[in-house]
Amino acid sequence: MKHTQKAPAAIARKPKRTAKPAARKPGGKAAVRKPQRRQSSRMAKPPAAAKSAVQPPPALPYIDRGKPIPDVYDRDVLRMLARDPEWVFVYWEVTPQRIRQLQSRFVNLHTKPWKVKLVDTSSGEEQVTPIFLGASNWYLPARPRTPYRAELGFMDGSLFVKVLVSNEVRTPADTVSERGDEEWMILRRDLMRMLHLEHEKDLFGMGRPFASADRFRDLESEEAVMLERLAQQARRLGSSMNVPAKR
Amino acid sequence: MNASTAPAGYLMLVLHAHLPFVRHPEHDEFLEEDWLYEAMLETYLPLLELFGRLEQDGVSSSLTMTLTPPLCEMLSDELLIGRFDRHLCNLERLAVAERGRTAHTPFAHCAEFYVQWLRDVRTTFERWNRKLVAGFRHFQDAGMLEVITCTGTHCVLPLCVTREAARAHVRMAVRNYEKHFNRPPRGIWLAECAYDTGVETILKECGIRYFFLDTHGIVFAEPRPRYGCFAPVYCRNGVAAFARDIESSRQVWSSECGYPGDPDYREFYRDIGFDADDEYIRPFLHKDGRRRNLGIKYHRVTGKVALNEKQIYQPEVARERAAEHAGNFMFNRQQQVRHLAHALGRPPVIVAPYDAELYGHWWFEGPWFIEYLFRKIAFDQHDVATITPAAYLEQFPVNQVVEPCPSTWGDKGYLEVWLNGGNDWIYRHLHRGEEMMLELAHTHKTPSALTRRALNQAARELMLAQASDWAFIITTGTMVPYAEKRTRDHIHNLLGLYLQLTEHRLEEHWLAQLESQNTIFPEMDYRVYL
């Protein structure tokens, strides 16, 4: 569908969304000084007095990157996050204690290749990726709409020795669903509002609860029609049928 | 409304107002606090001003607006409001000086405009007794605005690993909203529109009735949505979701063809803070003398030209352009709803969400555009009516049940902006922080007064670390050291409190320091983690 009114001329301008700060220059207290430009030895005059030919590099500016935090937390963990339909992110920590335990069971552990196994928990399909244990995190290719579990371990010959198991995640969709079956809902409170009711029991009760006098009159006339029909049937069939007396 | 006047469809304009909680009492001036002052000056106060005019003129308007908890807290903070007043006074002095300096030059008219503009800002600021939240609350109570909340400190819930931590953010959001608006929130803006399966369970527990998604959050839902993104859907538990319309977004957001790029609009990147002589402008800068944006800008976009070739800004011409664009936007929505109503067999709702700061701060004429848009919709046509989410659900209570698609409104539609090689290092710390906070909450059922303070401060530190802003800033590469510092500082503080609590050696002096600096959520109760 086209809209005939044109938008203003295309001008490349502000980015779609940027960080809130508008400052053009880097913030904080640090100022980055340009390195000193050294003259070519051919251009420079001979120094009048003996001076060191090598100038010390300029001092690095101090940039406050925050208070110290540990790199690791001394806990064995393997955790996974689904980043998008095609990638999952895993990070891990394998404690020294765990390594020692493994070393006591497996000879030459340091020579064994470490891997992350990505398991499709719906099909059982596995995908093994060699990793460097010291990296402590990895991005693994995945498929959309798929549940996964990750396992961190190493190869002992042809056997994968599982050391840690992750949480389970499901990658999101990247296409319109194949399913077209529809289900519709109205919230209870909205239904009650439409029916002008406070509680479901107001639908029932002793006698006939009516939302309004008009509704009573409508029901009364409907009842009259029903009774007349019954009476007609009785007249056709004979007088044995009891027709309820009209109140 | 009878059948002859019923609109063909609805426009749901949503402004998401958010800034990360930045407050540095330890410094007299702090550059990153300027984010708040610029947004107050150019967005929030002009919005309050235009709502006031619409109210005075009896113009019907239905706008949905997020005021995130961190923003509400900052707008209510005495220190920050006092500093904004100082910021405004500084600009008022500069504007008067500029009027004198530019007299009899081509810039004189523009300088005079700023004097008047700042006067209007000051008037609005004082009208609400410097309490901007009260202003928004007034317009909500008057039925012109529906204010919704946001996930705690603007945390991306799918990046939490425990349900309790995600739920704590929503609980605090509800609590904070009730404090500021005297009633519970009906809706929520998930930070970054970040949704994952299960979020709706938390929302329902907290009494939230609806939330928002990016377009593909509904379009990729299971099963297919019959009405695409032009009607809300229900999650299985009855919480409703609305999804963004691409067409209306592109007309404003697009850097190539969006309205803000018009040649007559004010150029953001020519500012007197950088253009003026050093000696002249120094008294108006921070004490460190570093040049920065001050908000007085004399040039217009002009076109695809170098910054030094920009032409002089003419406010009246820009205002006319804003009126034209509002008319264009309305016309396009009319065409859109007529077409969709015919195709869908039901009045569509066009959901048009934007960062609030786009209007006024990045696009100076944005608030004028909004005001013209509401006036034109109210008086110039009958096809489109503005509506809020609650009102739409009341009119159209029967909706399709789907399982929304996990998604965000970030670049590429998922989590890459907040989870990539530059910022993924933060998550092992945030996740460990969640575990520590849960452990603390479960092991301290009847704490002493001092212990309770420490527990509450630990919760604040964790929530502040989890703000999506830090990971976002690291990705965009703008103020990376500050974002990294904030992440590390809060994790460090949380770790320190955790160790002191578990080892029963609380240092009250250090705790008091943290409480005086990281003051968000005075009403914090660590038991939101239970």
SS3 content of chain B, % helix, strand, coil (to 5): 55, 10, 35
Q: Which residues of A touch B238 (CB under 8 A)?
A: 185, 187
CA of A80 vs chain B CAs: smallest distance (Å): 9
* Per-residue pLDDT, A33: 34
SS3 content of chain A, % helix, strand, coil (to 5): 20, 25, 55
For helices B508-517 and B480-502, angle between their N-to-C axes, nearest 10 degrees: 150
* pLDDT tens track for A49-74: 445 567 777 677 777 889 999 999 99
**Is the CB of residue A5 less than 8 Å away from at least one CB of chain B?**
yes
Task: Please tell me the CATH code under which domain A77-170 is placed.
Answer: 2.60.40.10
- CA torsion through residues B285, B289, B292, B297, sign: positive
On the question of pLDDT at A242 being above 50, the answer is no
Q: Which residues of A touch B495 (CB under 8 A)?
A: 69-70
* pLDDT tens track for B339-384: 999 889 899 999 999 999 999 999 999 999 999 999 999 999 999 9
Average pLDDT per consecutive 10 residues, chain B (530 residues; last block may be shorter):
74 97 92 93 98 95 97 97 97 96 96 97 97 98 97 98 98 98 97 98 98 96 94 96 93 84 95 94 91 94 94 97 97 95 92 96 96 97 96 94 96 96 98 98 96 98 98 95 96 98 97 96 97
Tell me the pTM. 0.86
- Measured between alpha carbons, how far is A20 from B21 in angstroms, rounded to an integer? 12
Do residue B400 and residue A182 have CB atoms under 8 angstroms apart? yes
DSSP B79-119: HHHHHHHHHHHHHHHHHHHHHHHTTTSTTHHHHHHHHHHHH
Antiparallel, parallel or unpaired: β A137-141 and A87-93:
antiparallel
Q: Which residues of A touch B416 (CB under 8 A)?
A: 83-84
CA of A86 vs chain B CAs: smallest distance (Å): 10
- Measured between alpha carbons, how far is A148 from A80 in angstroms, rounded to an integer? 9
On the question of pLDDT at A2 being above 70, the answer is no
Are B156 and B465 spatial neighbours (Cβ–Cβ below 8 Å)?
no
Confidence band of A221 (pLDDT split at 50, 70, 90): low
- Measured between alpha carbons, how far is B15 from B52 in angstroms, rounded to an integer? 17
The amino acid that residue A1 corresponds to is M
- Out of B293, B331, B336, the one facing A22 most closely (by C-beta) is B293
Domains and CATH numbers, chain B: 14-412 (3.20.110.10), 419-529 (1.20.1430.10)
Is the pLDDT higher at A206 or at B479? B479
Compute how many other C-beta atoms are within 10 angstroms of the C-beta atom of residue B182.
10
On the question of pLDDT at A115 being above 80, the answer is yes
* Per-residue pLDDT, A53: 65
Q: Which residues of A touch B337 (CB under 8 A)?
A: none
Phi–psi pair at A177, nearest 5 degrees: -65, 150
3-state SS of B346-375?
Answer: CCCEEEEEEEHHHECCCECCHHHHHHHHHH
Longest dimension (CA), chain B: 73
Are B235 and B404 spatial neighbours (Cβ–Cβ below 8 Å)?
yes
Confidence band of A48 (pLDDT split at 50, 70, 90): very low
CA of B110 vs chain A CAs: smallest distance (Å): 22
DSSP B391-446: HHHHH--EEEE-BPPPB-SSGGGSSGGGSSTTTTTHHHHHHHHHHHHHHHHHH-SS
On the question of pLDDT at A130 being above 70, the answer is yes
Do residue B336 and residue A79 have CB atoms under 8 angstroms apart? no
* Per-residue pLDDT, A232: 59
Are A216 and A224 spatial neighbours (Cβ–Cβ below 8 Å)?
no
- Out of A20, A81, A177, the one facing B419 most closely (by C-beta) is A81
Q: Where are the domains of chain A?
A: 77-170, 194-237
Q: Is the peptide bond before A57 cis (omega within 30 degrees of 0)?
A: no
Which residue on chain B is closest to A89 by alpha carbon? B419
Compute how many other C-beta atoms are within 10 angstroms of the C-beta atom of residue A243.
15
Give the HSE-up count for residue B287: Cα atoms under 13 Å, Cβ half-sphere.
5
Which residue on chain B is closest to A168 by alpha carbon? B161
3-state secondary structure (DSSP) of residue B510: helix
Q: What is the mean pLDDT of residues A20-40?
A: 34
Which residue on chain B is closest to A10 by alpha carbon? B257
Q: What is the mean pLDDT of residues A123-151?
A: 97
Are A128 and A162 spatial neighbours (Cβ–Cβ below 8 Å)?
no
* Per-residue pLDDT, A22: 36
* pLDDT tens track for A156-186: 999 999 999 999 999 999 999 998 889 989 8
